[in-house]
C-alpha cells in the first residue's frame, strides 16, 4: 500500500515510516523539507497520487494559542480536501488522550478542532489518541521547575515510548478505518510526580520532585484521571525503566539510565 506520512520526518513520523517500510509498504515521508507543506498545500496533490492511506503525525512549529489553532485547522482542512480529490480511503491522525478534559489549553483546543474536522469529513478515518511520550519527561520537569524543586500534581499518568506510539499508529494505518477514536498508552500506570522522580534519578540532577496538590501540568489543572485512558486502551510493551536504560546516552545532561542500571545490578546482587 502507498501510505503517506504527514510529519514523516518528526519524532513519531520517522519511526512510523521505518516500521511501515519494514512491513513492505510504500511509505512516503511528507514534510516541508521533502517539499510537502500542509499549511500552503504545496506538494500535496503530487504526494497523494495513488495513496491508499494518509497518516497525519505532524505538529505545529508554534504552540502559541492562535498559531497552533491555525496550524491544525488549516493543515487538516487542506489535507482532507486534497485526500478527497485523490481518492484516499483512510485518514489516520494522532491526537492526545484526555484532549477534551484539557481545553483550558490552546494546544488542546487546537487538537479538538483537528479531531472535529476529521469526524465531519466524508473520508473514512481513525483518530488515535496516545498518552504522553517518555521522550518528554525532561521537558515536563523543566516546565514545572521552581528553584530546586519540580512541583507536580499527584495524578495518574500512563506515558509511553515513541516507538510504541509508532507501532500503534502502524497497526491502525494498515487496518480498516474505525470512524472514531482508539486510545493507546504505556504498559504501566504511575503518578506523575513519581514518574518524573524516576526519570531524574541521575546523580547530576539536583532537583527534588515535590507532589503539590496546587501544581499544574503544563499550566493546566488536572484531576486524578485527566491524563489516563479508558480501560480498553491498547497498551505498548516498553517499560519506562527499560527505556531509560536504553536511551541513557541520548538524554542530554542526564545519566538516568546508567544510574538505574547500577541500581538494578546492585539490587540483583543483593537478592
Ligand X SMILES: NC(=O)c1ccc[n+]([C@@H]2O[C@H](COP(=O)([O-])OP(=O)(O)OC[C@H]3O[C@@H](n4cnc5c(N)ncnc54)[C@H](OP(=O)(O)O)[C@@H]3O)[C@@H](O)[C@H]2O)c1
In the complex, the smallest distance separating the C-beta of residue 70 from ligand X, rounded to whole angstroms, is 11
98 versus 259: smaller Cβ distance to ligand X: 98
In the complex, the smallest distance separating the C-beta of residue 58 from ligand X, rounded to whole angstroms, is 3
In the complex, the smallest distance separating the C-beta of residue 200 from ligand X, rounded to whole angstroms, is 18
The binding site for ligand X (CB under 6 A) comprises: 6-7, 9-13, 31-33, 36-39, 57-59, 61, 75, 94, 96, 111, 130, 132-133, 136
94 versus 200: smaller Cβ distance to ligand X: 94
How many CB atoms sit inside 10 A of residue 197's CB?
A: 19
| Gyration radius of the chain over CA positions | 19
| b/e sequence 234-269, b meaning 16+ C-beta within 10 Å | ebbebebbebbbebbeebeebbbbbbbbeeeeeeee
Got the DSSP string for 129-148? EE--BGGGHHHHHHHTEETT
In the complex, the smallest distance separating the C-beta of residue 148 from ligand X, rounded to whole angstroms, is 26
Residues 6 or more apart whose CB falls under 8 angstroms from that of 36 comprise 6, 30, 42, 43, 44, 47
In the complex, the smallest distance separating the C-beta of residue 19 from ligand X, rounded to whole angstroms, is 14
217 versus 259: smaller Cβ distance to ligand X: 217
- Per the rule left: phi > 0, alpha: psi between -120 and 50, beta: everything else, 97 is beta
25 versus 114: smaller Cβ distance to ligand X: 114
The residue sitting closest to ligand X, measured at its beta carbon, is 10
55 versus 259: smaller Cβ distance to ligand X: 55
Beta strands in 57-134 (DSSP E): 90-96, 125-130
Q: Read off the C-alpha cell for 95.
A: 491526537
How many CB atoms sit inside 10 A of residue 170's CB?
A: 24
111 versus 125: smaller Cβ distance to ligand X: 111
In the complex, the smallest distance separating the C-beta of residue 262 from ligand X, rounded to whole angstroms, is 28
Amino acid at each position: 500500500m502507498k501510505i503517506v506520512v504527514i510529519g514523516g520526518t518528526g519524532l513519531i513520523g520517522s519511526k512510523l515510516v521505518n516500521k511501515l517500510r519494514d512491513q513492505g509498504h510504500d511509505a512516503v515521508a511528507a514534510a516541508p523539507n521533502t517539499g510537502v507543506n500542509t499549511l500552503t498545500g504545496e506538494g500535496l496533490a503530487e504526494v497523494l497520487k495513488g495513496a491508499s492511506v494518509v497518516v497525519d503525525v505532524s505538529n505545529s512549529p508554534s504552540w502559541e494559542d492562535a498559531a497552533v489553532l491555525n496550524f491544525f485547522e488549516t493543515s487538516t482542512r487542506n489535507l482532507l480536501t486534497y485526500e478527497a480529490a485523490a481518492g484516499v480511503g483512510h485518514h489516520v491522525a494522532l491526537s492526545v488522550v484526555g484532549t477534551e478534559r484539557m481545553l483550558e489549553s490552546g494546544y488542546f483546543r487546537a487538537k479538538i478542532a483537528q479531531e472535529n474536522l476529521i469526524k465531519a469529513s466524508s473520508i473514512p478515518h481513525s483518530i488515535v489518541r496516545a498518552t504522553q511520550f517518555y521522550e518528554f519527561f525532561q521537558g515536563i520537569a523543566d516546565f514545572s521547575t521552581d528553584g530546586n524543586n519540580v512541583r507536580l500534581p499527584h495524578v495518574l499518568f500512563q506515558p509511553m515510548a515513541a516507538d510504541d506510539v509508532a507501532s500503534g499508529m502502524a497497526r491502525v494505518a494498515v487496518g480498516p478505518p474505525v470512524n472514531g477514536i482508539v486510545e493507546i498508552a504505556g504498559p504501566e500506570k504511575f503518578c506523575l510526580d513519581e514518574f518524573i522522580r524516576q526519570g531524574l534519578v541521575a546523580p547530576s540532577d539536583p532537583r527534588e520532585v515535590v507532589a503539590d496538590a496546587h501544581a499544574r501540568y503544563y499550566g493546566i489543572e488536572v484531576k486524578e484521571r485527566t491524563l489516563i485512558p479508558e480501560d480498553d486502551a491498547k497498551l505498548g510493551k516498553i517499560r519506562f525503566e527499560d527505556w531509560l536504560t536504553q536511551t541513557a546516552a541520548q538524554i542530554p545532561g542526564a545519566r538516568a539510565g546508567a544510574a538505574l542500571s547500577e541500581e538494578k545490578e546492585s539490587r540483583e546482587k543483593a537478592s
